[in-house]
Structure 1
Amino acid sequence: MHDDTKSIGDIAAELYHKPPERYNCAQCILKAFNQSPEKIAEFKAYGGGRAPGGLCGALFAAKSLKDPIAQQHIEDRFIKEVGSALCKEIRSKNLTPCTQCVRIAANIVKENLE
């Protein structure tokens, strides 16, 4: 289904706002990891800074795929690479483009699966 030469992060990033689905950051993560269409639709509510606690939607979705112990590791790694876990802070300070946040979050989840 996916080109084996691309990282999961590249696959997720390519899905970001791509027609016809126009997935948000959270949905891209779930789609890249082959989650159910229902779960992907549910996460439409979590893009654009609307994830609980103001988290980056890509980070929120990445954490949803793992157990609580791994979730903290994912968040710590994300903050180390991006500079914050909060969408508003990431965007207002131009720390990292949304597409790159999607790529980073997906790659961190993949590393935690290996």
Structure 2
Amino acid sequence: MSKEKALAIFTAVPRTHNCAQAVAAGFAREALVDTLHDCGGGRAPEGLCGALHAALLMAPEDRREELRKRFAAGAGSVYCRTLKQELKFPCAECVRLGAALAEEFADKPEIR
């Protein structure tokens, strides 16, 4: 359900949240929403997609690399510039994927 909420927040008019904030807000992580104010539009650390960056921050530390790989497999890249300019992968789809992965990784402990 949180992934649908994240997408609804991101696509709301007028837009009040960037991609990273929308993913965090979808999970009611309001303190994180404020922190992610400057992480949309390719401004997340390392040029990462903001939606991915938010999902990574919410994931257990030992599962972040796996989440990153899954995002890359689903979107084609982890970098905002590549996603937007080369692959033409829509930001709303990044939010949907980032939120879905955040939800999945939060709910499932790693199987060893």
TM-score, normalized by the shorter chain, greater than 0.5: yes
Say what the alpha-carbon RMSD is for the aligned residues: 1.5
Distance apart, 1:8 and its partner CA: 2.4
Partner Cα distance (2:84, 2:50) in 1: 12
Structure 2 counterpart of 1:103, one-letter code: R
The match for 2:95 is 102
Distance apart, 1:22 and its partner CA: 1.4
Q: Which runs of 5+ in 1 are unaligned?
A: 1-6
The match for 1:42 is 35
**TM-score, normalised by the number of residues in structure 2:** 0.87
> Among the aligned pairs, what percent are the same residue?
31
Q: Which runs of 5+ in 2 are unaligned?
A: 108-112
Partner Cα distance (2:19, 2:97) in 1: 11
The match for 2:110 is none
> Deviating runs (4+, > 4 A) in structure 1?
none
Distance apart, 1:21 and its partner CA: 5.7
Point out the structure with the larger helix share: 2
Partner Cα distance (2:35, 2:14) in 1: 17
Aligned residues: 107
Q: More displaced, 49-58 or 59-68?
A: 59-68
Structure 2 counterpart of 1:33, one-letter code: F
Q: Out of 4, 19, 43, which is 1:10 matched to?
A: 4
The match for 1:71 is 64
**TM-score, normalised by the number of residues in structure 1:** 0.86
CA shift digits 1:15-37 (9 cap, x unpaired): 1152456100000011011112x
Partner Cα distance (1:8, 1:94) in 2: 26
Partner Cα distance (2:70, 2:82) in 1: 17
Conservation of the 8 A alpha-carbon contact between 2:60 and 2:106: no
